[in-house]
Amino acid sequence: MQIPFSEPWITEAEVQAASDVVRSGWLSQGKKVEEFERCFTQYVGVTDAVAMFNGTVALHAILLGLGISAGDEVIVPSLTFISTVTSVIHAQATPIFADIDDHTLCLDPQDVAAKITPRTAAVMTMHYGGQPYALDNLVQLCRRKGLAFIEDAAEAHGAHWQGEMAGSFGDAAMFSFTPTKNITCGEGGMVTTGDSALAERLRLLRSHGVDRPY
């Protein structure tokens, strides 16, 4: 059954934009992707944005780029989409589940603090339903403990916390562009970060270590 929309879901402008890319003969990591990265950087208010193939790949790349691996623990929400957890497993680290806040369904900073051990390397929050929560508290906690802070902002395009954009708080954040998200490319993900050295590592991870067009 086709769902009726008051406005066309895909407009002629979007059809034309997709056609232009196909006709350009450059279907992957071309100028349009670079333009999208630049625009997303400005929108979120960070120094770098790195396009990825999807959100799960983006989370995995963030963990690898931060050097998180076997023996490390990453605190994650007990209520989240599965890739928040499987990305940690793909990096050979151990996910540690923390409770969520009853009202926001997002990570509870107090329980996060209780779950920190000497093996904890990072905290990964997820903005449930696109709603950020307690990001300032989580950032401060991670800084005190020397932990990386990662935002799973898959659904949080355009969301704010205390006047700052989601995706600008952590060492890195992931956005998703699958068809159910606020912005869709059909598929895709984006990492935002204020760490240009991390962004460079992510670009190398994305392209098998190649730093120029293949």
Q: If residue 95 lies in a helix (H) or strand (E), which one and from where to where?
A: strand 94-98
Annotated catalytic residue: which of 31, 32, 145, 181? 181
Catalytic site includes residue 32: no
CA–CA gap between residue 13 and residue 141 (Å, rounded): 45
Region for 122 from its dihedrals, namely left if φ exceeds 0, alpha if ψ lies in -120 to 50, beta otherwise: beta
* Residue of 89, 55, 58, 52 whose CA lies nearest to 74: 89
Q: Supply the DSSP string of 24-51, one letter for each residue.
A: HT--SS-HHHHHHHHHHHHHHT-SEEEE
- In 102-210, where do the E strands start and end? 120-126, 148-152, 160-161, 164-165, 172-176, 189-193
Active site residues: 181
